Structure 1
Amino acid sequence: MVRSRATDDRCLSLQRQGRIGFYVPASGQEAAQVGCARALTKDDWIFPAYREIGVALARGVSLERLFDQFIGNSGDLSKGR
C-alpha cells in the first residue's frame, strides 16, 4: 500500500509538471485495491485501469512497466499509442 501511494504521488507530480498526460490519482483507495488483489488466486485475471495502481502492484506488475504506460514510451504494451 505504501508503494502504491508513493507511486500515485509521483505520477500526480509528473502530470502537474506536464511530463505525463492523463493521470487520475487514487489516493485513499490503496487498502481496497490491495485487499481485493490479495483475495484473488494466481489464476484470476485482472484488468487494472488508470486508478488501480495498487491492484497492478499487488499482482506483480513492475514499476517500470507501469511508468512505460504512464509516459507512453516504446516499452508500453500499446507502444505509446
Structure 2
Amino acid sequence: MCNSYCRHLHRYTYTRVATHFLDCTNGNLDHFSIQGIQRLIPDKREGDQIKKLLYLEAKWIFVLATRSPMGLNSEYDVSCYF
C-alpha cells in the first residue's frame, strides 16, 4: 500500500499541497490521511454532476478557509461560483 501512495505522491510533487506535505513531514505517510466531508449522490434529474461537484469543492475551500492567503488553494479559480 505504501508503494502506491509513494508513487502517487511522487507524481504530484509540483502541486502546492504536495510541496506543503513534503516540506512539513518529509513525506512520512504516518501524517497523511484523507477525510471525506460531503458525498454527492448522483441523481438523473439534477443535471451536470461535474458542475455540482466543482461547486461543492469551491464551497468547502471557503468553508474550511484553505484559500490563500489562509491556505494552499491560491491557483484554484472559484470566482465563477461566488
User: Where on the TM-score scale, by shorter chain, does this alignment land: which range?
Assistant: under 0.3
Higher relative contact order structure (alpha carbons within 8 Å, sequence separation ≥ 6): 1
The alignment's TM-score, normalised by the length of structure 1, stands at 0.27
